[in-house]
Structure formats: structure tokens, C-alpha cells
Structure 1
């Protein structure tokens, strides 16, 4: 019974649909274009969410069976990175969201400081599959594995698949010490956020008090932590305690996470952009090594301008200065029985290319135990030592190419006897002219020890009061050989002898004598001469480097360096242009090579610096005949204006007059040039005691621009304007089309042709032709359009009158409103006007019988629309009666259907999703310094806006002016949090050039273009030939050329147009 009811019901529905379609077909309503597709309801999509990676305190390390790697090829690499943490929030480190890019390559950074580079090809084998982030070095350029994604912001790589083996190409950079000292920290706002804690802030500043160099600030923090805090493997901070402050101020003990977390925060509070990194620390050797949980480690990375991210680690030596190799030995000492053997280990790591280094292992008598020439980890057997004694094993790594350098390590081997003697230090450094007392500690059966030695370096000895032992007085005679000595000292007592072989490094202090000019000019090069010699012997070191630093009152600036040769040196130095005038101190440093027996030294001299004076004027001025005003500025290299300066100006070599600069260094000169002619204007500033003389030349030409007053152009088509420039043969002009489009014009042999983009609407367009700040002429483009008349009603029905509708459109198919049409139907003439949709409606009488009428429509034309006429044929007939009976039946069926649906159970109401959005009202979130950023926030509750972690206020509308750099905007609204990044740049020119080179050129290169050998215009032409759209290509190229080569600032509107053109071409992968 139930089935029969359903069959009858659905049969009734089908009949009603058939009836409605046959009777009401002409009256059926189509769904509007905005109607949502059923797919939106049947297949809902999840909105993308926010995900973060966080740490702190760190997750417990897995057991040894869960983590093991085999690493091969890390000849110059100690640090393999896994995670980067950026924000310290509520005592925990989190990673800010960034975009992962499909691909296995990240370009190496542009290091704009002299440096040394080493490359490794590293292979990693994991005993368990790896997913997500991979272990790679700081500057990994390529990862070889399937399913790889790159995270350029953090220099990380991810695996979208489970992999157990991969390889990668790594590059590492080191720097000579003076260049590290010359580095400055870059203002990276994203990496400067820190807790707002006055105690923490004062503590951070106290560590670096008195230090002006950014790199040394970082080192001071590292050394403070290393010297004042202890390592414990598993610290236990109390519950509900700030772990960072507990470590710094209470326990003063922690693991690598605590040390490095503190290092990052203390660096940020000192203005050094820093981030926390998690990974493993390994031996820098090419051979295969096993990496386990014991290698897990945290460290810090700090960003420096021109050098990029550098590693800082309180647990290991500074990896950033260049050294030819690293040498580690173990154990620190060894005790053997007489005649016994022992084993020592030497790690020969990070061997620089081209050093041709070797390692020699010798016993105290000079006998060679082993020699090896390749980097790696070496185990060696030492012994036997038949008699009791103190026998230091010498491990000497040295270069055999270029400047000789060496690192020496000692492993004391102690063979106990009736009594045993051990020096207080394994090896001693002894400067000529110094006296140093070295204690020899004695244990065992010794009552009245005596010392026997023939060493020329031991001038006396005595027993140590209050303890068992003797003290040796060491002094190097003036004629002693510099370098390592192994001196044999025998301690005797009760007929027993205990030989002690004591390594002593004899060195000499040095003096520097310099000759420098008394006065120099900023921006100029000059010579500093001098010599380096030993303070005792007067002998000249054979090797070393001389560095010169200038102090500007705030920091030390490297101005030159040179290698020394015997006796004298000549250093070519250059004072930076930006140095202000005054008396400056120049510090001269002598740095000997590693392992040389000379000490570094420093001397200082003073010079008077004259500031560099410069004219800021155009090189070429093109203007119309008449009084031409030449405006300029006289400034110093330090960007300060030179006020009240007397400036002479000459026209074609003849003195015309003088003009004084204002307090802001500005001046202007009016030249009467009545006709088309050219001249050379020469400006001369004689200089002063503070600033150098300055000269500048300006080519001035009075020209006449011949262009049509008006040009008629058709809507939607390019516009060509030809003209001539009388007075010069070749020049570059600009055509400004209101309201913001600028074209560059090349004048060749006095003529030019300007092609304008099609205009989207009709009307007058004013064009201004300019050269720099001078307007040469104006022209008007009158944009007109052909008109098309369309018939919208091919059949008109009505009782007494029927309506016929027409639409008027322009050549781009856009409707034209407010124009009159004359409509002629069988002698009847009517005038109608189009509405806002371009539609005009005419009412005509309906005849008794249906007719096919001829309708003629005329448009007389207007200022911007061309006349036209069109003839149509329209069927005019009486309106058919409405079948009310059938409509009633259909409505009845519809009522039945509606009632059926209403009695059905209502679906549960969908839960309304809360929304939080940050909207930049004036476009892309990149702004020029000084511009106002307008922000709107969509949220149901009252939102709070934070900028770089600081509360700005509450509300939905904000106007902000932010300093240079990147800034994090965070909105909190109830339980919702949304973040956005805004970037403030010095100029849009900088942003345009940056995105062109970072986004557009790599995209063009992937398409097969040799962009390094092509001009921007050639690239644009080639891509156009490859069927890429010419409009965005032309716009992008034009704005880039203006930004890079013109002195005019790119406007915000131009940048937005540039960026949209860029996105049209390369897609959304390159974002602000």
C-alpha cells in the first residue's frame, strides 16, 4: 500500500512538471548567475587552517633504537638543522607559518663581504623513515630525493614522502676576523621580538655594556653564558616557573636548549635578529660517522647585513672565523705502566681547500709516530715508555701551501714511578723578556727533590712552600730560537730520577711603526706605510696581515688591509664617503698567522677628515625657451646639507655669478635662454676646512616639442602619437597620462613615436611630455567609439501597445547610457533614451493581426560616440490569454509538494562558523616608509591589534605608520587569532627591483631564456613572441626600468600595478 502511494505521488509530480513546461515555458525564470551550485552544498570544502611547530621545553629525546643516522661527506659541516623556531610565546618557542615551495633547490645567499666558501656533498641514511623536515645544513642548495619541498625563509627542506636515504649539496662560509668585526646587524623585525621584562632587558644590556660592534656583542653573550653557567643534561625547572628566567637568574644550569634559548633572547634584546635552531652537531669529516641521540643539539643563528645568518653556540668554538683546519685530540691525558702502550685519537676537521695540510704525531724525543695528510678521525698507538716520566705527545697540524700556519695539541702521557711529577700546564708560552714561574706538582715518596736540566730556558728553580713540588723559573734569552722547544727537566730524589719533557713555545712581542697623512678626504684613497718588528730583537716577522680600522665615534670601520713582507708594509686605505668631517682615530693591527711565534699588536694614529662635498643636480636639463630654473642641493657624503656655501656658476666657461646654499643646502639658478639652443652650466664649490671642493656640470638645452594638439583614437585600440624634438638629437622623455600611467619615450635623430595602451573608456585624455621636472608640452587624446545597436525584442506582444527594446554598446561591448535613438516604424517616429544598462524601450500600437514590422533605428552621434543606424524586423502581435485553469492545477500540485517537504524533519541548523579577517584597505601589505597603512578587521567580537607583539589598540579600523622592516600584525578576537605580515621599504623602487629579480627573472629562466645575457626589453619581447600576454609584460618591464634606472620615485599605484602584472605572469608563488 505504501509503495502504491509513493508511485502515485511521484507520477503526479511528473505530470505537473510536464504541464508547466509545455504551458508556461516562455515564462519560466532562469537562475541568476550568482546562484550557488549544488556542489557547494553537497561537497563542502574545509577552509585552510593554521598550523605551527612549537617547542619548549623540548620534547624528550627518543631512545637510541629510535634515532640513528649514518652521515657521509660532511668535510666542512658541523651543524645539521631540523627545525627553526621564531617566536617566544608564553615561555614556549613556536615556528611562524611560511610557505613551502615545491622543489629541491634553494639559491645560495648573496654574501657581499669577502669570504671563504667550502662545498660538501653529504649523504644521510636513516635507520627509520624520515618525514617532514630533513637534516640539512644552514645553506643547503639542493636535496636529492623524491617529493621534496623547500622552505626558503628558514633554509629548510621537507619530504612529503617517507624516505630513508637522501643526499644534499651544502655550502659553508667563513670570514677573516676584521670582516666579522665590520659586520652590522640588519633590522629584521620578525626576529627581534622578546619578552617585555625590564629585569631581562637590563641584564641583556649589562652583558654587552661598552661594546659598539654587533659581532662582538654576540660573542660577549656567548662567552658570558659559557663562562658563568653549567651544563646539566636534564634540568628540572619548578612547575609554573618561567624556564628562561629560572635558568638565567636562579639555577644557572641547563642543557643546550636553555643556553641557546637564552642566547637568542639576550641577542634580540640587544638589537640582534636571532632565531633558535634544533638539529645535530657532528664531526666535520668526510668519512661515514654514526649520529645518535647524543648528537642532538640546539644553537642560535644571528642575522648580519651582507653576511646572512651566522651560527653561535656556547658549547663549541666560533665557526665563523676562517681557520685552515680544526684539530681535536683525546684523551686529555693518559697514564701508562712502564713498557705499556696506549691509544690516542686525533680529529683533523674542516680542512680548507688549497692548504695542502698534514698532521704529524711525535713523541718528546722528536720521533715520528704517525703522519697523515687527509681529513678524518685517526686512532694511533703510543708507547712503550720504559722508564717513569712525563712524556707529552705532540700532534702538529700545519699547512704546506701559501702562508704557513699550524695548530699544536699535546696529550701528556704519565708513567708513574717512586714519585711522579706533573707540570701545572701541559705546555707553556714564554715571551722573550718575560720571566714565568711554572710549578711542577710532585706526588709519591719525595722528600728533598732537586732539579737537573741543561735547558737554556730554565734559569732557576726552587721548592714550593707549603706543598710537595718545585717551581721552575723560565726565561728566554734574546738569542733563543722562536717556536716550539721540548725541554728535558729531571727531578731527582733518593736516587730516583723522573724526567719531565716540557713543551715551551717561545714567542716575541711586536711593535708597529706607521706613517700616515695628516689630512684625508672622505671617499679618497691614501697610503699608510710602516713596519712591524720584534720588541726585543728588532727582527721583522715574515708573515702576517695588517688591518686598519677607523673610528667614527660609534663603531670601528675597516678601511684597508695588506699582507706584510719583510721590514715594511704599504697599506692602501679608503675613507668611506659617509664619514663626517673631524679628527678621527685610525687603529692599525698586526695579526700573525695561526701558530707563528709573534704576538699581535696595535698602534693608533689620528687624521683630520674633510667631508666629501657633492652636488645633487640633473646631468641634463631640457626645457622650453625662456627663463630656465636649475635647482640643486649641495650635500656632504654623510647626507648632511652644506649650508650657507658660496657656489660659483659658469655658462660655457664664462663666470655668470654666485649663489648661496640655504640652511638645507638647496640653491636655484635662473638662466635666460630665449631660443632653441644648448649650453653647459658648470657649478663650483671651492670647499672649506670641513668639506672638499666639488664641481658639477649640467647640459642645458632649450628645445621645442612639436606634437599634435589633439589625437583621435578608437576605444580599445592602441594609440600612436608621433612628434619631433627640436634642439637635441637624442634624449629620453616621459609621457604622463592622467591619472597615473607614465611612458618612456626614446628620441632618436630628433623624432619619436609614442604608442599608448588602449583606453578602457571614451573621453579626453591629457598627456604631459616631461623631461625630469620640466614640462615640454601637452597634448590631448580624444577617445571615441563606434556604436552598435542590438535588438533585444524580436517579438513584441501586448493588448493595446507593445514594447520593443534595444541596447546600445560601444566597441568593447560595454553599454552606453544617456544617448538618444530615433526609432522609425512604418512612418511612426519616436525618440527614446538609453538607461544605465544601455537599453532603450519604445512603445508601439498593436494591430489586430500579427505583422512583421520593419524598424529603423538611428543614432546621430555625440562627442565621443560615432553615428550609426540599423534596420530590424520585429513581429508585433496581441498578447495570448493566460491559461488560468492549468496554472491553478500546477499551483495545487506545488502546494502538495511544499506540504510534503514541510512535514519532513528539518535538518539540524548548521553551526555558524566564526570569521576573523585582516583586510588591508589600500591594497597589498607593502608600504613605503612614512605612508599610512589602513587596516579593517572583520570579527563578531571586539578585536585587539598587536604589532610585533605590542598592543596597538582595540577596534575594527586602524591607521598605522610603521618603521622600516618586516612587521607581524596579530589580531585577537575572542578565541580566534589571525596573523599577517606587512613590510615597510625605503622606496617602491627597491621593492620593484627586488621582486623583478627574485620572482620574474627565475620564472623567465625556467622558460628557457638566457636572462643573464638579455636586457629587460629583450626578455619582454621574447616572452611576447612565446604568446605570453603583452600588456602585463610591457607594464612590468616599464615600471622595473623606471625603478632601476630613473631618478624618479615609483608611486604606490605603480607598484600595485607592477605587482598585479607580476602575479598575472608568474602566479601566486611569489608573495609580498
Structure 2
């Protein structure tokens, strides 16, 4: 009895449990707290980490920083960079995030302009630990230190460790002047943003007004700032004032930050991509030098096409033109007592390799005081001077190899006497044929000064009216020696003498005579001959370079250069192919070497330029016999159509006729070729006064394509089609399959085999074989499938009738709908049809006794499905009655017990798990620069959104526009914190290439493919042959090729399709 009670009790418990689970289950079942959402599986996010680098904090006013470095080996390097700033926002400079790459190497840029390169190995020792960005040059190629990361976008290196010493390899580039003038600024949107201020814009354009050359625009801005503004170390702009405009329009005084900041903005407003750079300016010498906060400096870098980033600085000479060396001397003058000594400092810097340069220090009488043969910083003692006088010390740096060049500085040494005489300039430049009056200022006890001299360059002198002094009349005779003269002029008064040694550089103007052809054709080379001579003496300079520039109406283009060889020169020039026809001016410049006693000169000649005419036609035309249309275009090298002109055409050398070009330069010729044969079509344009003659040949072949009309293929299997091309032995054809699949076919010895990837569905596929715009033939692939019949009901039960269900599938296990089946059961035949799920149902009578019936199912086949039959054994039986009464009583009792339990003891209410979720409404969290990112946040409390650690706002809906780079989005809601990563790219093209190269290619490589030696199409083909799905492979490859090789921008929709195809193939484990 007791046992029965237990049995009844456990039965009721079981029934109640089943009832509770079926009725209350949906309300009680909850996902565990750590369960990932579907979005996390499909769109894996990067964990927060230091994958980006902000090169420096936002700067508004540069603050003092104490440091001390020992720098060694900077023989050609003046500028060491620490930070790069890209955006001017609300009166301060900030840096956009850029990817930091683990590694200590950045490849040098590809400089596609003739240039000079110098390399330095520089060592830095710091007295304080260094962390973060390191001081390196613009083009540093390698840094030797632990924990190094490279930031290629900004040419910076950084470390997360504390280090006290490191070394780096640096390369610097300089250019000959004409190549700098030929540079054009590249359109880089990132470095063109500037305040939208009309006053600032008009001011920027006024500085460069009338200048068409981009490099000279930059130099104009630099020189304007240097000439019209003054240096002030600690400017203090008023509160709530834009510092940039205050500097430019009000104070006109500032430090290097203000000058460089203004230079960057003014350059950007002129269309020159520029960025602000912070670092130190040092001496370009190989010896060890001390660098402190006194060396801190700001400057600008401007980007030019083919030359890269170039430095511009209003405080120092232009570092971009090539010079064999730099010479800097100090002090500018000195005063000594009789028989006293002084010291001068000479900095011999940036000495170019192979120049064999030296520095010589001489007194006014020509006696050598010191000589230096290596770059460095030298201190030289001068003196003593026995009597009062004006004694300029000459410091001459010169080359001793190749073309002689020199830079000369004079440091006046004044020994005061009873009276003192000082020239108004330390050194005079005197052109032959000119007269120049030079004032000698006299201080002290002088009443009636007189001049005594035997110099041939002084032809007269006179006292200066209104002040103490005399004026010297200088004139160089025709036969006087060119170059430096130090002339002794003695001023006497009251028995006292005061000798003045005056440096005079005698120089001569030059003339250029030019012989050039009257007419030249764009794209052709030609010679320009001529000679350079002095305008007074007629003598020929021994050294110098001749440059030729062609004006296209907007800018001057370098077309050739040559060195002078004694008396004459011959310059080989080339007119660019894109030059339009018309009369053009050619400017010829003579540039003497540095230090030579000749003036540069310029002359101009004019030539008539004939435009280059070109045919745009196919080299080979394959078509079916009949009338073959040859279409083409006649255009100039300037891409303009050559309209309404007559074109002759010849077939196999025989003139057939003429055709006229249209307004767009287009023409077409119809050739009757009735049979399989080959011909050569020759096109000739005789030319005109504006355009050159042009000729083109087209090989035309009428061919016959022999291919099967239809090819049967099995669903899910590759298809091979073999054929022959009669009429040519070797050619490249294309096979096009609607709706957009194209295969390339190589015809070898007249035969080919085309392998098509498997088709996903049955049906007819039309294939069109093409060569260029010509269709050679069509074929049809009939895709059929074997059929499999599956039994879904192995036991059929019913009162009077029972149902037996079958499913019909194709060879890819996809259901087949709408096909008829004949079902035979013990002689009874019934015909049924499959539904949309491929399922057919047949009803059979039920006997009293259970039977094991033999069921035969036949499919007769259809257009695309092959016939088949199958035999099954099915148990057919009567359906047992269900004791519903007893089940109802048991459920009632169970419900009463559950109710009783719930009333007695109410279960504790389950604590609801709080939810915090970030949802990207636009889908994948990757966006193009400038696009709006829409974010929704699911949270019970009021959430706060932080981007890269900065609070954006509170709320559940946000619309953001973020700068380039990766950004960490963090949402805080009560105690919950959720993070996500969003990436902003310049274009979806960049993202497609990144994902392809960093996700898809490594995955393909793991499958055994040698991806480094294969094209994208070959990779896709190999994977398709390995039975990977062709649709995502084809889509992924097509969008990648468009992103990398086309000029068209990939849209967001295309990128999402690409990303989904990538996930289909490689899964969700790859994050770029």
C-alpha cells in the first residue's frame, strides 16, 4: 500500500514538472550572464589595447620642458622631430590617431625626382629617461633601441620603455633648384583642413597672388612671415582670443610655434598639404653636441608629389635646395684693442659627400690663419693688429672636386683709434659697368678727413654732406679681375691714419644666345644650342648649368638641362606628350655655381608646338566572317578629340577608302570579310598644322569558333567545354555567363578547354564567347541533377487511412518541388506531387492487422532532373486509442498539488539580470571618414558614452563623426561597463584591401596555397576547385580587385557584402 502511495506521488511530481516546464518555461528560462550576443559572433571586436598612437597631446601654447641630450653623428641633419600635429581645432593643434606598428624600420620614400641623398648614423644619449616618441629625423629608416614601435603615417618612432640611449639611421634629400620649381602639391585631404574664415582665406591668397608654382607659393609664405613678423619668446594673447589670428593681424610677434602654426594654415588655404612639427633644431655636424630645451623648435612640412614631405622654416635657410655645404660664422663683428686677440667661431655643416670641401680663414692681407678639411665647429684666434684700423677676416668654404663652388663670409675686426672708420656694409658687390657709392662712417676726432688709395676700383671720393664721413665711388674697369678683391683705403686726418680693408666682389652680367627649332611635336626630343657670355667683356663662363622651361599658360615645366662646356652648350629637351598645340614660350636660364663671379640670366624663345596625334584602336580584332566593324578614336596627347578630319585606311597595303572623325574624334570602318581569313588594316592620319601625323595597324581575322551547342553538366560539379578556333593559332578570349561571371580563355595552337565552376541550381546557362567587343559564338550548359528519394515515414498509423511521406532532393541535398511521383503499394498505384519542401504524401488504407508493406516509388524524370526509383518497407498499423480520461484526471490532480505548493511557499522572485549593450545601427562598426555613426544603447539606467576616454554625452541614441583611426567606445551604466571598437578609414577601398591581405590571404595560405606567387583570380580559382563556394569567392575577389586597382570608390553596401563573404569563408576569428 505504501509502495503504491510512493508510486502515485512520484507520478504526480513527474506530471507537474512536465506541466510547469511546458507552461512556465518561456518565462523562467534566462541566458547566462556571460552569454555572447549574435553580434559578437558575427562582428568580433578588438579588445582595448595600445593599437594606435597619439603622437602628442593637444597643444595650444608650448610649455617649457627641461631636458639634456648628447647628439653625435648628425652631419647632414638639422631637424629632429618629436611630435606631428594634423588638425587645428578651436585654436589648438591636435593629432589624429595613427597605427603604431611593432618594429624599428620604416622604408625610405620613393623619390621620383632627380635628387641628392645623404645618410647619417646618429646616436642620442639622454640625461633623463626617455619614454614615448623619440627624437628622430624626417626620414629615419631604422632605430636601434628596445621596445620600438613605428608610426609610418607621421614618420615617427616610439617606445613604451624607459631608455637613456638609442641610435638611428637617417637619410636626407636635397634637389637642384629647377626640380623644386617643377614640383606640384599632392591633394591630401587630411592635411588641407583649415579654419573657415573669410579674412584668413583672403589674407593667405593675397600672399601668393600671381604665383602659379606650388613650391614658390610655399617660399612666398615663408619669406612673408620672415620679413613682416618678429620673434618674441613669450607672447601673451588676450583671453578668449584666437592665437593664430592675433599673431597674424594684431601682435605680429611670436615664437617658432606661432610662425610655424601660421605657415601651416596659410599653406593649407593655398591648397598645399601641410602639417605642424615639434622637435629641436641642431647643428648639422658629426661631432657630439649638447641639445637642451633652448633648441626646442616648431616648423612646417609640406607634401609634394614625387618628392614627399619637405621642411619649411621662417627662421632658417631653405634646407631643400642642394648646396655642397653650409657655412655659419659668429660673431658678426668684433672690436679689439691694439695688439689684442679675438676669437671667431666657424660652423662647417652639411658637407655633401664627394665635394672634398675645405674652410680657409685669412686676414685682410691674404695670410692664412687656419684651414679645416672636415665638417665641424671650429674656434679660431685672430689678431693681434698693431695699429687702429678696419680689418675684415675672410672665412672661405670651397669645394676642391668637381665644379668649383664657394661661400665667403667676412667678420669685421675694428681696432678703434683717434677716429674710427666703418663701411656701411661689410663687403661690397660691384658689377662691371656700374658705379656704386659706398659711405664710410667716421666717429671720433676727425674734422677734414681725406682718402688715400691706389685701388683701381676706387675712381673718386667725396665727403658726405651733413654727417661725419666720406663716400667712395667704386667702378670696375673692363679689364679688372672678376672675383674677390680686398682693397686698402686709408683715411687720414690731423696726422692720424686709419686703414680700411674693403672686400669687393667684382661680378659680371651675362647674356644668353639661343638657337632652337621653329616647330616641335609633343612627345619628341629636340636640341637647343647656344652660348653664355659676359655682357661687358664678352668672355665665356667656364662653369654653370642651363635649364629650359616650357610654359603651358599656367605653370613652367622643366623640359631639359645641361652643363656649360667652355663657350657653347647643347641642351636636349623633350616636349611632354600631353602638351596642347599652339605657340609656347621656352625660358632658358643660366645658373652659375655658388660663389662664381657671374650673374644668373634668362632669355626666352618661342616655338610652335604640334600636338601629338594618336589612334585608339584594338591591336587585334577577331570576328565571325561577314561585315566586320572596326571602331576607334583619334585623339591628341592632351586627351582632346581630333574632330572632323579625314583618315585613310589600307587593307594589306592597298588603299581602300577614307573616313571622317566625328566631333568626339570617333570613327568606324566596315570591312567585308566573307570567309575565314586574316588581314592587316592600316590607319593613317596625314596630320595638320596643329597635330602630328599618326599611323596605327590592326590585325583583323575572320574566325570560326567550333564549340558544342549544348553541354550537359551535373549539379554541383565543375563543367569542361572544349573547342577550336579556326583562323588563328593563339589568342585570348573571354567567356561570359549571365549575370556577370567572366572567364579568360587561352587559345593555344587553335584549341582550348574551358573549365567552369559548379552551378548551384539546375537549368540552362547561356555562355557567350567574346573577343573584345565581338561575339564569336554562343553555347548552352544544361545543368541537371540526379534525384534521391527519402522515406520520412517508416511507420504509418491511422484509423482508416495512414499517411506515408517522402522527400525528393537533388545532388546537393536541396528539396525539389513540383515533381510527380508514382507510388506502388501491393499493386495499388498512386501519383502524388512534392510541395515546396520537396515532400510528397500518399494515403493508404489501414488493415486490422499490422503489416510490413513494400512501397516502390518511381520518378520518371524531367527536363533538369534524372529519373530514379527506390523501394522501401513501411509498417502500416491502426493507431492506438489514447486514454484521455485518465490523463485529464492525472493533470487535474497535479495542478491542484502545484497550486497547493505555490500557496504554501512562494518561491523567491528571481533577480533579473541587468543588461548593457552597444548596438551599431549602421551594421558593421567600420565607417568611412566623414560618415555618421549611429549608436543605440540598451540599458535600464541613463548611460554615459565615452570615446577614447573622453565623455561624449548621456543618452541612448548617438550620432558620431570620428576622425581616422581606431576608437574605443565605452558605455557606463550604473555599475555596468561595456566597450566596443570602431574603426574609421579614409575609404572602404583601404578597408577591403586590409581585410583581404590580413584575413583572407593568411587563411588561404593555411590551406596550402602559395598566395605570394598567385593573382587574386588564381587564388579564387584554386579554392573553387577545392570545392569552396564560388559565390562568396567571386564576390570577394571582384570587390578586392575593384578596391585595389580601380579608381572607383567602394561603397558601404559593397564593403558589407565583401565582409559577409569573408565571414562565410574564414569565419569570425580575424580582426584587422
Q: TM-score, normalised by structure 1?
A: 0.82
Tell me how far 1:1000 sits from its aligned partner. Answer: 11
1:271–1:10 distance in 2 versus 1, CA, 3 Å: farther
Tell me how far 1:517 sits from its aligned partner. Answer: 1.0
Does the 8 Å CA contact 1:54/1:92 hold for their aligned counterparts? no
For 1:176, the equivalent position in structure 2 comes to 176
Tell me how far 1:150 sits from its aligned partner. Answer: 2.8
Does the 8 Å CA contact 1:934/1:958 hold for their aligned counterparts? yes
| Partner secondary structure for residue 644 of structure 1 | coil
Q: Any idea what the Cα deviations from partners look like across 1:318-353, whole Å, max 9, x if unmatched? A: 111111111111121122222222222222222212
CA distance in structure 1 between the aligned counterparts of 2:577 and 2:241, rounded to whole angstroms: 52
1:664–1:551 distance in 2 versus 1, CA, 3 Å: same
Q: Any idea what the Cα deviations from partners look like across 1:562-606, whole Å, max 9, x if unmatched? A: 111011111111111111111111111000111111110001111
1:928–1:132 distance in 2 versus 1, CA, 3 Å: closer
Q: Any idea what the Cα deviations from partners look like across 1:250-299, whole Å, max 9, x if unmatched? A: 11112222212221222222222222222222222222222222222222
| Partner secondary structure for residue 55 of structure 1 | coil
Tell me how far 1:33 sits from its aligned partner. Answer: 17
Tell me how far 1:463 sits from its aligned partner. Answer: 1.7
Tell me how far 1:1053 sits from its aligned partner. Answer: 11
- Tell me whether 854-863 or 151-160 shows the greater mean CA deviation: 854-863
Does the 8 Å CA contact 1:189/1:948 hold for their aligned counterparts? no
Does the 8 Å CA contact 1:1036/1:1062 hold for their aligned counterparts? yes
1:382–1:21 distance in 2 versus 1, CA, 3 Å: same
CA distance in structure 1 between the aligned counterparts of 2:539 and 2:363, rounded to whole angstroms: 31
| Partner secondary structure for residue 332 of structure 1 | coil
- Tell me whether 82-91 or 868-877 shows the greater mean CA deviation: 868-877
| Partner secondary structure for residue 24 of structure 1 | helix
1:969–1:252 distance in 2 versus 1, CA, 3 Å: farther
Does the 8 Å CA contact 2:66/2:292 hold for their aligned counterparts? no
Does the 8 Å CA contact 2:682/2:697 hold for their aligned counterparts? yes
- Tell me whether 966-975 or 92-101 shows the greater mean CA deviation: 966-975
Tell me how far 1:516 sits from its aligned partner. Answer: 0.8
1:267–1:946 distance in 2 versus 1, CA, 3 Å: farther
- Tell me whether 1004-1013 or 847-856 shows the greater mean CA deviation: 1004-1013
Tell me how far 1:366 sits from its aligned partner. Answer: 2.0
CA distance in structure 2 between the aligned counterparts of 1:401 and 1:115, rounded to whole angstroms: 19
1:497–1:845 distance in 2 versus 1, CA, 3 Å: farther
| Partner secondary structure for residue 74 of structure 1 | coil
Tell me how far 1:510 sits from its aligned partner. Answer: 0.6
Tell me how far 1:84 sits from its aligned partner. Answer: 2.2
CA distance in structure 2 between the aligned counterparts of 1:197 and 1:362, rounded to whole angstroms: 55
1:740–1:1027 distance in 2 versus 1, CA, 3 Å: closer
Does the 8 Å CA contact 1:732/1:746 hold for their aligned counterparts? yes
1:841–1:1063 distance in 2 versus 1, CA, 3 Å: closer
Does the 8 Å CA contact 2:55/2:97 hold for their aligned counterparts? no
Tell me how far 1:365 sits from its aligned partner. Answer: 2.1
Tell me how far 1:3 sits from its aligned partner. Answer: 32
1:616–1:600 distance in 2 versus 1, CA, 3 Å: same
Does the 8 Å CA contact 1:20/1:890 hold for their aligned counterparts? no
Instruction: Please list every run of 5 or more consecutive structure 2 residues that lacks an aligned counterpart in the other structure.
Output: none
- Tell me whether 133-142 or 179-188 shows the greater mean CA deviation: 133-142
- Tell me whether 180-189 or 848-857 shows the greater mean CA deviation: 848-857
Tell me how far 1:10 sits from its aligned partner. Answer: 18
Summarize the alignment of residues 39-188 of structure 1 with structure 2, pairs less than 5 Å apart: 59=59, 66-188=66-188
- Tell me whether 601-610 or 885-894 shows the greater mean CA deviation: 885-894
Tell me how far 1:712 sits from its aligned partner. Answer: 2.5
1:352–1:906 distance in 2 versus 1, CA, 3 Å: farther
| Partner secondary structure for residue 910 of structure 1 | coil
Does the 8 Å CA contact 2:45/2:1071 hold for their aligned counterparts? no
Q: Any idea what the Cα deviations from partners look like across 1:977-1034, whole Å, max 9, x if unmatched? A: 9999999999999999999999999999999999999999999999999999999999
1:885–1:327 distance in 2 versus 1, CA, 3 Å: farther
CA distance in structure 1 between the aligned counterparts of 2:593 and 2:540, rounded to whole angstroms: 14
CA distance in structure 1 between the aligned counterparts of 2:363 and 2:7, rounded to whole angstroms: 107
Does the 8 Å CA contact 1:190/1:966 hold for their aligned counterparts? no
Q: Any idea what the Cα deviations from partners look like across 1:56-75, whole Å, max 9, x if unmatched? A: 99748898774233322222
1:367–1:951 distance in 2 versus 1, CA, 3 Å: same
| Partner secondary structure for residue 258 of structure 2 | helix
Q: Any idea what the Cα deviations from partners look like across 1:96-136, whole Å, max 9, x if unmatched? A: 33333333333222222111122222233333333333322
1:383–1:871 distance in 2 versus 1, CA, 3 Å: farther
| Partner secondary structure for residue 222 of structure 1 | helix
For 1:888, the equivalent position in structure 2 comes to 888
CA distance in structure 2 between the aligned counterparts of 1:514 and 1:950, rounded to whole angstroms: 67
Tell me how far 1:464 sits from its aligned partner. Answer: 1.6
- Tell me whether 641-650 or 834-843 shows the greater mean CA deviation: 834-843
| Partner secondary structure for residue 991 of structure 1 | helix
- Tell me whether 306-315 or 1036-1045 shows the greater mean CA deviation: 1036-1045
Q: Any idea what the Cα deviations from partners look like across 1:610-661, whole Å, max 9, x if unmatched? A: 1111111111111111111111111111111111101111111111111111
Does the 8 Å CA contact 2:105/2:141 hold for their aligned counterparts? yes
- Tell me whether 168-177 or 788-797 shows the greater mean CA deviation: 788-797
1:495–1:638 distance in 2 versus 1, CA, 3 Å: same
1:676–1:312 distance in 2 versus 1, CA, 3 Å: same
Does the 8 Å CA contact 1:545/1:561 hold for their aligned counterparts? yes
Does the 8 Å CA contact 1:53/1:94 hold for their aligned counterparts? no
For 2:923, the equivalent position in structure 1 comes to 923
Does the 8 Å CA contact 2:509/2:600 hold for their aligned counterparts? yes
- Tell me whether 955-964 or 309-318 shows the greater mean CA deviation: 955-964
Q: Is 1:585 equivalent to 2:585 in the alignment?
A: yes
1:967–1:300 distance in 2 versus 1, CA, 3 Å: farther
Q: Any idea what the Cα deviations from partners look like across 1:876-932, whole Å, max 9, x if unmatched? A: 889999999999999999999999999999999999999999999999999999999
Q: Is 1:506 equivalent to 2:468 in the alignment?
A: no
Tell me how far 1:168 sits from its aligned partner. Answer: 2.5
Q: Any idea what the Cα deviations from partners look like across 1:514-540, whole Å, max 9, x if unmatched? A: 111111111111111100011111111
For 1:802, the equivalent position in structure 2 comes to 802
1:1051–1:223 distance in 2 versus 1, CA, 3 Å: closer
Tell me how far 1:851 sits from its aligned partner. Answer: 8.1
For 1:664, the equivalent position in structure 2 comes to 664
Tell me how far 1:549 sits from its aligned partner. Answer: 0.8
| Partner secondary structure for residue 832 of structure 2 | strand
For 1:356, the equivalent position in structure 2 comes to 356
1:1024–1:413 distance in 2 versus 1, CA, 3 Å: farther
Does the 8 Å CA contact 2:125/2:165 hold for their aligned counterparts? yes
- Tell me whether 417-426 or 833-842 shows the greater mean CA deviation: 833-842
Tell me how far 1:934 sits from its aligned partner. Answer: 16
1:166–1:1021 distance in 2 versus 1, CA, 3 Å: farther
Tell me how far 1:662 sits from its aligned partner. Answer: 1.0
Instruction: Please list every run of 5 or more consecutive structure 1 residues that lacks an aligned counterpart in the other structure.
Output: none
CA distance in structure 1 between the aligned counterparts of 2:138 and 2:361, rounded to whole angstroms: 34
Q: Any idea what the Cα deviations from partners look like across 1:475-507, whole Å, max 9, x if unmatched? A: 111111111122222222222222222211111
| Partner secondary structure for residue 171 of structure 2 | strand
CA distance in structure 2 between the aligned counterparts of 1:395 and 1:914, rounded to whole angstroms: 81
| Partner secondary structure for residue 352 of structure 2 | coil
Tell me how far 1:220 sits from its aligned partner. Answer: 0.8
| Partner secondary structure for residue 250 of structure 1 | helix
1:316–1:970 distance in 2 versus 1, CA, 3 Å: farther
Q: Any idea what the Cα deviations from partners look like across 1:6-26, whole Å, max 9, x if unmatched? A: 999999999998999999999
Tell me how far 1:196 sits from its aligned partner. Answer: 2.1
Tell me how far 1:766 sits from its aligned partner. Answer: 2.2
- Bigger-Rg structure (1/2): 2
* Highest RCO, 1 vs 2 (Cα 8 Å, sep ≥ 6): 2
CA distance in structure 2 between the aligned counterparts of 1:618 and 1:160, rounded to whole angstroms: 59
1:76–1:33 distance in 2 versus 1, CA, 3 Å: same
Tell me how far 1:231 sits from its aligned partner. Answer: 1.4
Does the 8 Å CA contact 1:189/1:967 hold for their aligned counterparts? no
CA distance in structure 1 between the aligned counterparts of 2:1069 and 2:420, rounded to whole angstroms: 72
Tell me how far 1:416 sits from its aligned partner. Answer: 2.0
| Partner secondary structure for residue 135 of structure 2 | coil
CA distance in structure 2 between the aligned counterparts of 1:3 and 1:257, rounded to whole angstroms: 97
